[in-house]
Amino acid sequence: MSSTILLTPASAPANRFGSLWRRMQRRWGLLISALILLFWAVGALIGPSVLAYQPLQQNINDSLQTPGAAHIWGADKLGRDIFTRVIDGGRITLPAGLIAVLAAALIGITVGALAGYMGGVWDEGLMRLTDVFLAFPTVILAMAVAAALGPSVLNAVVTIAIVAWPNYARVTRGLVLNVKSSEFVEAARAIGAPHWRILLRTILPNCSSALIVLATLDFGNAILLFAGLSFLGLGPAPETPEWGRMIADGIEYADQWWVSGFPGAAIFSLLMALNFVGDGLRDWLDPRSQVR
């Protein structure tokens, strides 16, 4: 007696998440990366409220104290606990990077989708505008925009969004051009569906997998660029516990490696984790990828 198992819509997401979990078990780097992201996310949410020190709490007697029982990651020149400041810095760096990526994705996807779907003059004009931004090196353009806007967290986020959106525009345009010639899009046109509905409800959902992976990988780039702007004094105020600013403060204390070493390690761990998770999402969302 044979039986047939039907995959219902409700069970499909469960199977996909089960597939991701099996993949994570076979790839320990992905699992460890997910735990690192969870650590920084939890630390940004509740860390400062449960730690023994405050991020701005000074104690000159502990100036440049080495890592130990009192300060597990040491103290900076003003005696501030580095572990507390690094954990608290995630409350600035993570939201800033996330907001910048979302803003860049919104602008870039809009531009790329219109260019790819409309074609003709729209495509030519929007892509030439994109090329203007791509013609400048990212870091140089970011420094110029941030210097013009002035140092602040908001201006740094705006700067990152301005320099990052052209990548989304280029990728989205290519994806839309590939999908809009599909039979299901032609069928939607044949039944008289309006253009906005075809673009938003038919084409873009079929481009979402690649765009999600791009945003995940770009999140790390946004964090690195935000830290770079802060390092140059174009981000938050100097006393703010932000990772790039903390690295800049530790440059003059080369012998006290912990002052800049632990904030740098935080950036490195987060970037590596995001790259591993981005690769895992790409494999998971790719329909050609099979997990046995």
User: Residue 115: how many CB atoms within 10 A of its CB?
Assistant: 25
Cβ atoms of 81 and 89 closer than 8 Å: no
Taking the C-alpha atoms of residue 155 and residue 110, their distance in angstroms, rounded to an integer, is: 22
Which residues of the chain fall below pLDDT 70?
1-27, 286-292
* Tokens 């987060």, located at residue: 270
Q: What are the structural domain ranges in the chain?
A: 71-285
Domain 71-285 class in CATH: mainly alpha
Global pTM reads 0.84
Taking the C-alpha atoms of residue 122 and residue 125, their distance in angstroms, rounded to an integer, is: 5
pLDDT of 17 reads: 55
pLDDT of 211 reads: 92
Reduce the DSSP state of residue 75 to 3 states and report it: strand
pLDDT of 176 reads: 93
pLDDT of 278 reads: 85
Spell out the alpha helix ranges (H) of 137-256.
138-149, 153-179, 183-190, 195-197, 208-231, 243-249
The 10s digit of each residue's pLDDT in 83-116 is 999 999 999 999 999 999 999 999 999 999 999 9
Tokens of 82: 């580095």
β-partners of residue 81 are 75
Taking the C-alpha atoms of residue 194 and residue 39, their distance in angstroms, rounded to an integer, is: 45
Burial level of 33, CB count in 10 A (0-12/13-18/19+)?
A: buried
The 10s digit of each residue's pLDDT in 49-77 is 778 888 888 989 998 999 998 899 999 99
Closest to 238 (Cα-Cα) out of 132, 152, 135: 152
Exposed e or buried b for every residue in 185-222, given b needs 16+ CB within 10 A?
beebeeeeeeeeebbeebbbebbebbbebbbbbbbbbb
